[in-house]
Amino acid sequence: MLISDLQISQVNNQIQALRKAGSFYGKKLEESGISGITTPEEFESLPFSEKNDLREAYPLGLMTAPEEDIVRIHSSSGTTGLPVIIPYTAKDVDDWAIMFARCYETAGITNTDRIQITPGYGLWTAGIGFQNGAEKLGAMVIPMGPGNTDKQLKMMMDMKSTVICATSSYALLLAEEIEKRGIKDKICLKKGVIGSERWGEKMRQRISNELGIELYDIYGLTEIYGPGIGINCIHNTGMHYWDDYIYIEIVDPVTLKPVPDGELGEIVITTLVKEGAPLIRYRTHDLSRIIPGSCPCGSKFPRLDIIMGRTDDMIKIKGVNVFPSQIEEILKEFPETSSEYQIRISHLDGRDTMRLYVETNGTIDFMDLSRRISEKVKSRVGFTPLVKVVELGLLPRSEKKSKRVFDERYE
């Protein structure tokens, strides 16, 4: 999506606020000699930002509004080293609730719905974001937080919850419990709003079928408000995102050059009206693409595809960026293959080669299947792999997440 004149002037305002506050990014922009932008070219010359930079600003170095205007902080989980602290003004909190309410509306949820919220409350942005959006919408919130499945199910039945907000794994657990306890007829759920992570179509089908509900993927990250910056509509053709609050670019994760709409790359987000901690060209490391064209729902908001994985998973082969998720998506179109596969990359006679191992049962013509998969990969990804079809059960299985990609070029 080309940046609009309005968005450019909004980014320019963010730059002015950052410089004036002399906050972490204000100083960075100052050092780069950037005093403002007026054109798309100038926007594309702005430096990127990353989570590691934000950590350097710990604890309050990102604060860009005066302290008296800050009403809350949130923090993203610090699995390695320092967490990131994001300060919010009252307007930021309200803007986030407006965006989140819009997500619920896009999913067809109204003020007569009863929304059971199972993501956690506290420093991170999950539970409280779901709650503020629901209250802005005027729906009735049942603020459960995570865990305690007995109580979740009791409240779900007694309060006749119509919407469940959860991670995909917790939604699946609840679905299985409902099935196991035979209480499906006492459950009034109609819709599920699922925090967007990468989750397979099979899992989606299971949750949707067992609970008999429509599922919606909600996108967001703590650094940029939190969940609620985008969601799919009933047509399920990607997540509409709110381009009056954020500008999204998709860039090649290696060259960092923007890619055309429709092409896979890294999601980079710029806030347009944030006060507490504006972010410019923030690299999310999430992979997706902008979906070109318009949605059958008629919404004017652009669409982002579901999250396809993380840039850290990327493999570069024959000059082409490949993500294991792309290969996985292709294999899903071959019902004759199992869910197991292995990708092995090697360097032979001066050339990179990808060998793709897939499993099938003995009734299939291995050579023919190999040729068809190889052709599909060539047409989608741009190079031809060597597809090795093996008997069902030959690829290793593990309780934990199986290692599926082996790069033997550097061994």
Interface with Zn ion (CB under 5 A): 233, 295, 297, 299
Nearest distance, CB of residue 233 and Zn ion, angstroms: 3
Helical residues (DSSP H) of 195-350, grouped into ranges: 201-211, 324-332
CB nearer Zn ion, residue 159 or residue 297 = 297
DSSP 58: T
CB nearer Zn ion, residue 105 or residue 252 = 105
- Written as six digits, the tokens of 357 are 């191992």
Nearest distance, CB of residue 306 and Zn ion, angstroms: 14
Nearest distance, CB of residue 236 and Zn ion, angstroms: 9
CB nearer Zn ion, residue 175 or residue 233 = 233
CB nearer Zn ion, residue 300 or residue 351 = 300
CB nearer Zn ion, residue 130 or residue 301 = 301
DSSP 254: T
Side-chain-facing half-sphere of 311: CA atoms under 13 Å: 18
Nearest distance, CB of residue 232 and Zn ion, angstroms: 7
Judge whether 18 and 63 are in contact, CB under 8 Å: no
Dist. CA 371–CA 328, nearest whole Å: 17
What are 269's strand-pairing partners?
248, 282
Dist. CA 335–CA 369, nearest whole Å: 11
CB nearer Zn ion, residue 124 or residue 245 = 245
CB nearer Zn ion, residue 141 or residue 239 = 239
Dist. CA 315–CA 347, nearest whole Å: 13
Rg over CA atoms, the chain: 23
Nearest distance, CB of residue 217 and Zn ion, angstroms: 13
Contacts of 180 (CB under 8 A, 6+ apart): none
Nearest distance, CB of residue 234 and Zn ion, angstroms: 7
Dist. CA 348–CA 338, nearest whole Å: 28
CB nearer Zn ion, residue 225 or residue 241 = 241
- 246's enclosing H/E stretch is strand 246-251
59 upstream amide cis, omega within 30 of 0: yes
CB nearer Zn ion, residue 304 or residue 317 = 304
Nearest distance, CB of residue 96 and Zn ion, angstroms: 21
Dist. CA 376–CA 365, nearest whole Å: 17
Nearest distance, CB of residue 102 and Zn ion, angstroms: 12
Q: Report long-range pairs for 290-295 (Cβ below 8 Å, ≥24 apart).
A: 290/1, 290/248, 290/250, 290/261, 290/262, 291/237, 291/238, 291/261, 291/262, 292/261, 292/262, 295/233, 295/235, 295/237, 295/238, 295/240
DSSP 185: G
Nearest distance, CB of residue 303 and Zn ion, angstroms: 7
CB nearer Zn ion, residue 203 or residue 297 = 297
Nearest distance, CB of residue 238 and Zn ion, angstroms: 8
